[in-house]
Amino acid sequence: MAKENSSKTNPGASSVLGFHHVCLVVSDMERSLALYRDTLGLSVYIDTVIPDAQQALFAQKTLDDIFRVHGAKSRMVMLASPSGAKIELQQPQTPSVQTIGRKALGYGLAGIAELAFGVTDIENWFERIRTAGYETQTEYVWSVGGGRLKSFLFYDADGNMMQLCEEFDVSASA
C-alpha cells in the first residue's frame, strides 16, 4: 500500500521539485557532442575529467563508490537547453564502456526507452536530424491526440532512442 503524501500531512516535509537532469553513458564523447551540442544546440557548461585534480566535483572515493570500481575515471560533460533542460554525458575510462546495442534498448524491455525533447518547428527538426545522418524510426513526422502533438523518434550514436516533440493548442483553432 502506498504511503500518504507526507507533504499534505506535514507542510514542512521534503518533496520532489521537478526533473533535474538525465545521464547517458556514451562510448565516444566527441560523436555524442556532435548530436547534443552541435545538432540539438545544447550549451556545454561543464566539460571535465572526474575525479578532477581539485576534487571540487567528485572525490576519488565518491566516484569509486558511485561507479563501483577502484580507480574510477570519466569524462563528464553537462549540457543545458535555453529553457534549463539538462543532460549529463559520461564517458568512463575506468570502467571501460561496453555498448549494449539497440536490441537491448526500446519498448520491449524495462528501463528508459527514450529521451524526449520539446521543440518548435518539428518539420525543420526532422529534416535537420536526417541531414545530420541520424536514423529515424519512421520516414515521417507523426501526429497523436488529434494533432495536439507532432513527433518523431531517432537514434543517437550509441543506439539510444531520442524523441523530438512539438505540442499544439488545438482548442485555439476550434
Largest CA distance in the chain: 61
At 9 the pLDDT is 61
Element (H, E) at 7: helix 6-9
What domains appear along the chain, each with residue ranges and CATH number? 19-98 (3.10.180.10), 99-174 (3.10.180.10)
The C-alpha cell at 69 is 570500481
- Cell triple for residue 139? 520516414
> For the whole model, what pTM was predicted?
0.83
The C-alpha cell at 116 is 524526449
pLDDT at residue 136 in the model: 96
Calculate what percentage of the chain has a pLDDT beyond 70: 85
Structure-model confidence comparison of residues 2 and 158, the more confident one = 158
pLDDT band at 11 (very low <50, low <70, confident <90, very high): low
The string of pLDDT tens digits covering residues 95-132 is 988 887 766 666 777 778 889 999 999 999 999 999 99
Q: Does the pLDDT at position 1 exceed 60?
A: no
What pLDDT, on the 0 to 100 scale, is given for residue 143? 95
Average pLDDT estimate for 137-149: 94
The amino acid at residue 150 is K
How buried is 131 (Cβ within 10 angstroms: 0-12 exposed, 13-18 middle, 19+ buried)? exposed
Q: What is the pLDDT of residues 18-54, one digit of tens each?
A: 889 999 999 999 999 999 999 999 999 999 999 976 7
- Please tell me the distance from the alpha carbon of residue 123 to that of residue 70, in angstroms, as a whole number: 47
**Those residues with Cβ within 8 angstroms of residue 34's Cβ, 6 or more apart along the chain or in another chain:** 132, 157
